[in-house]
Every structure is written in C-alpha cells, then in structure tokens.
A and B are shown apart, each in its own frame.
Chain A
Amino acid sequence: MKYLIKNGRVIDPANKIDGILDILISDGKIEKVGKNIEEPGSVKPTGLDAKGMIVAPGLVDMHTHLREPGREDEETVLTGTLAAIKGGFTSIACMPNTEPPLDNPAIIKSLKDIIKRDARANVFIIGSITEGRAGKRATDFDKMKKSGAVAVSDDGSSVDDETVMSGALEQSKEENLLIIEHCEDRKISGNGVMNHGFTATKLGLKGIPSESEYVRVKRNIELAKKASARIHIAHVSTKESVDIIRRAKAEGVKVTAETAPHYFTLTEECCATYDTGTKMNPPLRSREDVEELKRGLKDGTIDVIATDHAPHTDSEKDVEFAFAPFGIIGLEMALSLSVMELVEKKILSWPELIVKMSVNPSKILGIDRGNLKKGSAADIVIIDPDMEYTYTKNSVVSRSKNSPFINWILKSRVSKVFVGGKLMTVGDV
C-alpha cells in the first residue's frame, strides 16, 4: 500500500525539515520527503491532501500505564493503544507497575504476546528496577534488556534504598539500560493527597510538600553522577526539581527529564471542588511551579512531554478525595493541551514541541522513531492545528475516563495517524 501525503507542513526536526512538502509512504516505510512528489507509475498511491495540516513523526509517549496484565478493568493493551492513536501517539512505553509487575523475562514475554495480538500502536516495554517493585533487590538488567525492555523503572514508587539505587545505576551503565525514576521520598510525602500549601489548608487536606520530590531528584542525580550513569527523571512537578536538573545538566551529568501536560496546565487550585480527577502523584502544584516548568521546557532542562496516562475506573475514583487512587488519563488530549499552553503562548515553537513529544523520547529510550528519514518506519501524525473540539467523556476511547479535562474546549486535533505505514482509524474502538 502506498500513500502520498500532499502539501502539509512537514515538521521533522531530527532532519531539520520544516516546510510545505509531500511524503510518499511505501511498504510501511518512508520512501520520500520532498516538494511536489510526482505520483509514480504502476501502483498509484492513495493521495491525502494535508493542506493547512501539520505532518510530523508520530508522537512517542515514554510514560504510559496500560494496566495489562492484572487491571484489565482499567485499561488494556488494545484500549490503551487505541487511545494513543487518537492522541497522535504511534509509540508508547508502558510502565511495569502491573499485577504482577514486569520484573522478569517470563512476564515480559507474556505481555509481548498480548502486544503482538492487540496493540494498534508500537508498544515498548519498561521493566522494573527491583524485584516486585519492592525496592529491595535489583532485577537482572541484562535479562531485562534481552527480553526486550527499553528501560527500567519502579514508577509509582521510588527506590528508597541508596545502596540498591547505586547498584542499579552501575548495572544501568554496564548494560546501557536507562533508569527512569519516580522521585518521591515517602517519609516526606507520607499520606498526603495534594500539594502542600494554602489550597490544602483551605480544603483541610493533607499536603505533599515539594521537598518529597526534589530531595529525591537531588539524591538520584548525585548517585548517577557518581556512577557516571544516565538517569531520567519522571513527571517533574516542582520548580526546585527544574532548578536542580538545570544545574546538573550544566555540570555535565547525564540526566534527562520529563513533565506531563497537567503539570503545566493546571494548578493546585483545581482541587478546590474535591474533584478526584485532580488527584495525581506528584500532585498539581502552585502557579510558580507551573511557570518554572514552562521555563524548563523552553530552555531545554525538561527534554520530554510525557502523559503519565494512569487509567482508573469511575468506581475507583468516585469516592472521597482521600480514598481515591492517584492518577489521570492523558494520551488523548496531551497534544492539544501542549499546543494550547506552550505553542499558543509562545513557550515552544511547533518544531520544538515535536522534539519534546517525539524526537527526544525516542532518543532517550534508544528507539528508532521520531524522524521521517527515508527508509524509517512510516509512523506519522497529521494534525489539524486550528481545529477546536470539546473533549467529552463519551469521546474517550481509553477504558477509563478519569480526567479533569472532560468538557474542556481544546484546540489542535489529530486528523490522521499512520503506524508502520498503515492508516489507522482514529477514535474507532
């Protein structure tokens, strides 16, 4: 099957391309990117007019919770990847906090079988750092890597024990397998449920101080520096973390970082109605944190926008604020929120946004995605940048609907998505 995408604004930052161009897709691969590509002879390609659209490498989410195996009531590989497609993500990396966790080759193998059967987008697997995600004994990174993991993380928990973390970083360096850390000192965050501050005071809710994050960011960076290993900081939410990462980068530490759209779109004040859709970990922070995250995105301190897509059913979420689980879904509206908060507000240009949502996550995970060079897999997203739409609960294709953005009017909609040269049907379950 051949496709010819015509007259779109092709943004391929990895190859320094940004212009009105055509893309020819053939046999699942990018065959050609150029001006006025002629429709070649024998097999006529299906033409797609992308005038006024942005054509970019498919988005890559390096932080998704697919919940399979174990919590198929919340999400599955099928529904999660359909949600990804709807949001323009052609590749996602799934976190290992499943039940059981992805801490050994056998369970990773069985997930790979499910992926092979059900996935509509490319799914890369993140194994766990420690056995059972318990933080006590590191897994065998060599085996993790050989079984197909592209990184390791105990996401949802932080590795508290310094010795365990140091050992893991040594292994990480040895095997060249990236560690992604959820940075949280539970001794500080305790049983807090939202950001520590005036809003928590007003609401009578227990706070999670910023220290619980940045103290652990600092420790991890120090350990990574000592081991000369790479480390990726997941879901950065505080201004102090941004500052610590910025300094570490300047010093040459091999640290990378991500944040999620809700952290630069919403503040702690959104918790004021006790809507459990605003409860996530780390929590929504203050206005100053939001501003610093944006600065960090602009100056390159924060490399990646990831979703931390964390599905929970209505019955889990429709409870008292303190009892509700942490987390919100993110795949289907991450692009729109990023465009509205960053591109429209001139924090990032379109190419810079594509870097944060496709090029950088691919590089950091070491996967061959995030570019449109000849011969690479035709993972492409076509975006209608000016299209406005209402993000309704009914439109959500993820199995869970836990989002604080329901009924928001959003801008920039994914129009078409190719995964491996195959035109996907957006939003069709």
Chain B
Amino acid sequence: MVWTKKDLLGLEYLSREEIEHILYTAASFKEVTTRQIKKVPALRGKTVVNLFYEPSTRTRISFELAAKRLSADVINVAVESSSVRKGETLIDTGKNIEALKIDIIVVRHDCSGAPNILARSVKASVVNAGDGWHEHPTQALLDMFTLKSKLGRIEGLNVSIIGDIAHSRVARSNIWGLTKLGAKVTVCAPKMLIPEGVEKMGVAVTNDLDEAIKEADAINVLRMQLERDTSGAFPTKIDFFKQYGISEERLKRCKKDIVVMHPGPINRGVEMSSGVADGQNSVILEQVTNGIAVRMAVLYLVAHVKR
C-alpha cells in the first residue's frame, strides 16, 4: 500500500485499509523491539519534535522511544496551554518549529482539534498524540494491535468500552477504529458520561455494566478522571467502583479468556480492582510495549508519505 496521508490526526479520517496497513507495519517493527540491538536506520536524518501542551509521561516516552529506535533525532518541547498565553500562538509555534527543518511534529494538546489546525498550517507531518476529548489515534491503534495479537482478529469481536466516554479521546479513537475493522462495539457508562448521539458512530449504548461485559471478547476500561469538570453529578470513587468498576467477581461472569485493556494510568480500586489489573486476562503492560511498535509504524509511514 502506498501511504498518502501526511498526518495522523485521528482514526475517523482513515480507511479500513489504512488502519490495517499501520497494524501490519507495526508487526514488523514489533520484531525490532525484541532484538538485542533495538534500532533500525529507517528515519536516520529525520527530526521529530514532541510538542506537548499537556503533561504526559507515558505517551511522550513511548513516542520518544519509537523515534529513537527508528534513528530519528528527537526534541521534546513542553508548552503551557492557555487562551491568554503570552507569546506565540499554536500556528506560530508550528511554523517556527518547521523553520528548524523538523520533519514530524507529534502534538499533545488539551484543546480538541489543535492538531487539525496545526496540520493545515505546516508542511511537516503532524501526529496527534491526544487532543482534548477528540482523538488519541495511536492509543487506539495499539489497543487494536494488542487485541489482534491476542485474539487473532478484530472482525466480529465484541468489544466493550467502559467508563467516561463523554470526555475520552481514547474512546472516540477506539470506536472509529474498531467499527471500521468490523468489531461490534458497546459503550457503557452512567448516562451523564455518554455523549449525545454517540450511537451514530455505530456503537451500542448501555448503562448496565453486566450487560456490557456479558458477551464481550474484550473490554477497554477507561481511566476515570475524577478531577474533570462534570457539572457536579459525578459519582464518588466508591460509588463508581460499585456500579462500573471491574472486580474479580464481575470478571468471573465474563467469557473465560476475555481480554482486559486499560490505556493507563490506572486508578486501582476505581475503574478496576488490583486483582483484575494484575490478573491473567489483563494485557495492560503488553499494550505499553506494543505502543512503541505502533508509534514506530506511524512515524515511519508519515515520514515516507507520497505527497
């Protein structure tokens, strides 16, 4: 397949074939990460900037490692995000970075759509490392990669996404990706955390956790962000765990080899018990490992785009 997308802004904008091509490419890079010498020269002479407007350790490290294993030079830039930010606008920052002859900008931003705006202002490739509540495409890609390597396929799987769907970019990217690849997706959350019209994205919606997990081949449990503004009616931690938390007991009622995923970092005892997080069905640490291969694939593809 000839890669024609300059940027990776979200899975909404990719075709099934393009998503499959990223996963296919990631598989060969996965092999690289298991070698003694974990480095290939694919991006030698290319420069990647990690432009992070929102604090993140794991995603930033994962992108940094991915770039380094492809022999790219990497620069990390942390910027404070604010509407009254003194100095540069996002577009000016992007143009200045580009003037330094950077090839790829990996951007994390608390404003939905910031990568879209950046991408049309610069010639460099833009990779979305998470924007507001919008998309986190590499997270969904690594979730799908993990799922595929565990269960051999995506098509026809029942996948339930559980937790704060309304404020989750991970949920949105997973919904786009999984439905394009033919999975049956259910989202499960208390009513106020289900965003308006989400069923139009091709998913089933339920407020009942037991219903969501009953037939599931895999569950993706979202991080509960209790610090978020959700207009007061938010369940308390303990209430949330009782109703929507994944406990060992609940897991017993699921398919025996159900795959349990979590994008991290986990709130143990809120969305998931420690027993589940560390248990046999959990693939949480494999997700982290796979993240590097998937991000290598994304950086590789956008760097070699046919314009």
Q: Which residues of A contact B (CB under 8 A)?
A: 190, 196-198, 200-205, 207, 273-274, 315, 318-323
B196 touches A322 (CB 8 A): no
B196 touches A201 (CB 8 A): yes
Q: A320-B90, A323-B83, A323-B111 are in contact. Are A204 and B132 (CB under 8 A)?
A: yes
Nearest 10 A-B pairs (CB), nearest first?
Answer: A198-B197, A274-B113, A204-B133, A204-B134, A204-B112, A320-B111, A201-B195, A323-B83, A322-B111, A274-B116
13 contacts between A and B (CB under 8 A): A200-B195, A204-B112, A204-B131, A204-B132, A205-B112, A274-B116, A318-B91, A319-B89, A319-B91, A320-B109, A320-B111, A321-B112, A321-B113
Distance A315 CA – B85 CA, assembled complex (angstroms): 13
Chain B: minimal CB distance from A155 (Å): 22
- Closest Cβ neighbor of A318 among chain B residues: B91
Residues of B within 8 A of A273 (CB): 116
Distance A201 CA – B169 CA, assembled complex (angstroms): 10
Q: A318-B89, A318-B91, A320-B117 are in contact. Are A203 and B112 (CB under 8 A)?
A: yes
Given A318-B89, A320-B113, 16 additional A-B pairs, CB 8 A:
A196-B196, A197-B196, A198-B197, A198-B200, A201-B197, A203-B112, A204-B131, A205-B132, A205-B134, A207-B196, A318-B91, A319-B90, A320-B114, A321-B117, A322-B83, A323-B111
A274 touches B195 (CB 8 A): no
A204 touches B89 (CB 8 A): no
Residues of A within 8 A of B112 (CB): 203-205, 274, 321-322
Q: Is there a chain A Cβ closer than 8 Å to B198's Cβ?
A: yes
B89 touches A202 (CB 8 A): no
Distance A197 CA – B201 CA, assembled complex (angstroms): 12
Residue of A190, A200, A321 touching B196 (CB-CB under 8 A): A200
Distance A311 CA – B44 CA, assembled complex (angstroms): 47
A205 touches B113 (CB 8 A): yes
Residues of A within 8 A of B200 (CB): 198
Question: Which of B131, B132, B231 has most chain A Cβ within 10 Å?
Answer: B132
Chain A: minimal CB distance from B118 (Å): 9
Q: Is there a chain A Cβ closer than 8 Å to B172's Cβ?
A: yes
Q: Is there a chain A Cβ closer than 8 Å to B271's Cβ?
A: no
Q: Could you give, for residues 131-147 of chain B, a 1 whenever the CB lies within 8 Å of some chain A CB and a 0 otherwise? A: 11111000000000000
A198 touches B196 (CB 8 A): yes
B83 touches A201 (CB 8 A): no
Distance A200 CA – B201 CA, assembled complex (angstroms): 12
Residue of B91, B117, B169, B201 touching A204 (CB-CB under 8 A): B169
Q: Could you give, for residues 198-211 of chain B, a 1 whenever the CB lies within 8 Å of some chain A CB and a 0 otherwise? A: 10110000000000
Distance A190 CA – B172 CA, assembled complex (angstroms): 23
Q: A196-B196, A197-B197, A198-B196 are in contact. Are A203 and B134 (CB under 8 A)?
A: yes
Q: Is there a chain A Cβ closer than 8 Å to B12's Cβ?
A: yes
Chain B: minimal CB distance from A227 (Å): 33
Residues of B within 8 A of A201 (CB): 166, 195-198, 201
Q: Could you give, for residues 166-194 of chain B, a 1 whenever the CB lies within 8 Å of some chain A CB and a 0 otherwise? A: 10010010000000000000000000000
Chain B: minimal CB distance from A206 (Å): 8
Question: Which of A198, A203, A315, A318 has most chain B Cβ within 10 Å?
Answer: A203
Chain B: minimal CB distance from A18 (Å): 45
- Closest Cβ neighbor of A199 among chain B residues: B197
Distance A319 CA – B111 CA, assembled complex (angstroms): 10
Distance A161 CA – B70 CA, assembled complex (angstroms): 61
Question: Which of B90, B117, B133, B135 has most chain A Cβ within 10 Å?
Answer: B117
- Closest Cβ neighbor of B197 among chain A residues: A198
Chain A: minimal CB distance from B190 (Å): 16
Residue of B166, B172, B231 touching A202 (CB-CB under 8 A): B172
- Closest Cβ neighbor of A273 among chain B residues: B116
